[in-house]
Amino acid sequence: MLKIWLLRWKDGEGKMKIIHSIAEQSFKENNSVSEGGRLESSTSQPVLLNQEHEHSNGACLEHGICSHEVLQDAKDVDSNMVNNKIMKKASFKLSWRCKGENSDQHKHDIVYFERGNITTAERSSKQISLKWESPPQTVVILTKPNSNSVQILCAQMVRWLREQKKLNIYVEPRVRAELLTESSYFSFVQTWKDEKEILLLHTKVDLVVTLGGDGTVLWAASIFKGPVPPIVPFSLGSLGFMTPFPFFNIFLDSEHYKDYLDSVLRGPISITLRNRLQCHVIRDAAKNEIEIEDPILVLNEVTIDRGISSYLTNLECYCDNSFVTCVQGDGLILSTTSGSTAYSLAAGGSMVHPQVPGILFTPICPHSLSFRPLILPEHVTLRVQIPFNSRSPAWASFDGKDRKQLAPGDALVCSMAPWPVPTACQVDSTDDFFRSIHDGLHWNLRKTQSSFDVPLDGKSGPSVVNYSADDHDKL
């Protein structure tokens, strides 16, 4: 069974047009497009439809854009099933907007996601608002380990969400064992048993709550290999670039999470769509596509470095099959804009707003005075290859883990993943971003320059004052 998005609009005559369909199964290169807009392939693939429907859909907004998810084989797509299917997850809508009622750019281009699965949108650079169209039913809570205070807060939150909000609760197997050790009351809490259940978790969960720091958000994102439910990140870590909901004192502020969660569950809320990179390691020894390793999704960055070798790394870099440069230094960082405040920043890369769609290309200690970092557009595909004449292998790490050796001839291919990570904002994505770099990095924190002294006669206007060298140093 294929899962297909059908995006529709109303034309000027009020007719419905199916303009686009997106399947969760990736297209292969042997697809071809025939006349009429249908994709043809030897395997079962989703269909790109371009046909008119004479009836209008009442669920579409006045702006005419809506989408529906159809669960059936692509060759049997029937538009009548769109309106008759049963809802199983909380539905919501995303609206792209600009601040200011009088702005010429003030628009409300709205897309519906009836099963809670968010995919990358064209207008991802605008402020995005999420509004629930049916109340959330299921929440998963993910916590950082080895913290007694977080464990206490988690138990309180689980109890409150169950008793006051009547929600179904999922936690990690480790956390469920801790809760049951504390009390048998928590027997209603659900968990998963294996990787197969984790892969289906996004079909059951409406909301993710993280209790920890940015590392907990990275862990939450890594669980979901496809669509990611909206994440509400509470700051219980160190810096907190991705955790805008604060806990200054976990014991004094233990009740504040209720106000935050009330607001999120009630909606609407601003969210940040954080793009991820999809990385493939291609071995030179692989004889066919079957031997290619599974893709790895990263929210911050993928790093290729020299490891324990004392030699410089030698990395050949290509962008859309065009040669870019050869990196000779300690390594290279390919980062998302969300990861621009992490390792890339330490290596001299720029800080970038997380909703700017792009890929950061940041060298690590390059042996060149002219090698400056780059920011590339989101649609490119980057390939980093270890040349056969390299003195030593390189090592790749993905969000700081899953370290893999890259031998001469191996390559790492990176592109933007189709499934971003939506994180809830306390105010909006821009306000949260500036607050994070001010609070986390003390960005541009400096004593303010003092003004000139007021003239002794009290009159306004410029005055001529003679300063000595000592006086100038005091300014």
**Domain regions of the chain by residue span:** 3-132, 138-274, 277-416
Catalytic residue selected from 11, 73, 194, 214: 214
What the block records as the tokens of 27 is 């297209």
Which is the CATH superfamily of the domain at 277-416? Answer: Probable inorganic polyphosphate/atp-NAD kinase; domain 2 (2.60.200.30)
> If you write DSSP's letter for every residue of 421-447 in order, what string do you get?
EEEE-SS-HHHHHHHHHHHHH-TT--P
User: Are domains 138-274 and 277-416 of this chain identical in fold?
Assistant: no
Please tell me the chain's helix, strand, coil percentages from 3-state DSSP, rounded to the nearest 5. Answer: 20, 30, 50
71-85, 230-244, 386-400: least confident range? 71-85
Distance CA 133, CA 111 (A): 12
3-class secondary-structure state, position 166: coil
The pLDDT value given to residue 286: 72
Sorted by sequence, the CB contacts under 8 Å of residue 311 that are 6+ apart come out as 391, 392
More confident residue, 373 or 475: 373
Distance CA 27, CA 39 (A): 10
3-class secondary-structure state, position 460: coil
Q: Say how far residue 301 (Cα) sits from the centre of its chain.
A: 12
3-class secondary-structure state, position 159: helix
> If you write DSSP's letter for every residue of 26-80 in order, what string do you get?
PPPTT-EE-TTS-EE-SS-------EEESS--TTS-TT--EEEEEES-GGG--TH
3-class secondary-structure state, position 368: coil
pTM of the full predicted structure? 0.72
Question: What CATH architecture applies to the domain 138-274?
Answer: 3-Layer(aba) Sandwich (3.40)
Q: What phi and psi values does residue 84 have, to the nearest 5 degrees?
A: -105, -5
More confident residue, 454 or 419: 419
Distance CA 425, CA 273 (A): 10
Sign of CA dihedral 123, 127, 132, 137: positive
User: Nearest Cα to 330, choosing from 357, 306, 352, 346?
Assistant: 306
**C-beta atoms surrounding 58 within 10 Å:** 6
- Distances 144 to 107, 151, 184, 212, 286 between C-alpha atoms, Å: 40, 9, 22, 5, 38
34-48, 88-102, 157-171, 451-465: least confident range? 34-48
More confident residue, 304 or 321: 304
The pLDDT value given to residue 92: 77
User: What's the average model confidence in pLDDT over 77-87?
Assistant: 48
Distance CA 386, CA 316 (A): 6
- pLDDT above 60 for 471: no
Distance CA 176, CA 189 (A): 7
Is residue 44 within 8 Å of residue 106, measured between CB atoms? Answer: no
More confident residue, 114 or 119: 119
Residue 109 annotated in active site: no
Instruction: Kindly report, residue by residue over 92-103, the tens digit of the pLDDT.
Output: 777 766 554 444
**C-beta atoms surrounding 130 within 10 Å:** 20
Unique residue bearing structure tokens 């984790």: 198
Q: DSSP letter at 288?
A: S
More confident residue, 73 or 314: 314
Element containing residue 150 per DSSP (H, E): helix 148-163
Position 57 confidence tier, pLDDT thresholds 50, 70, 90: very low
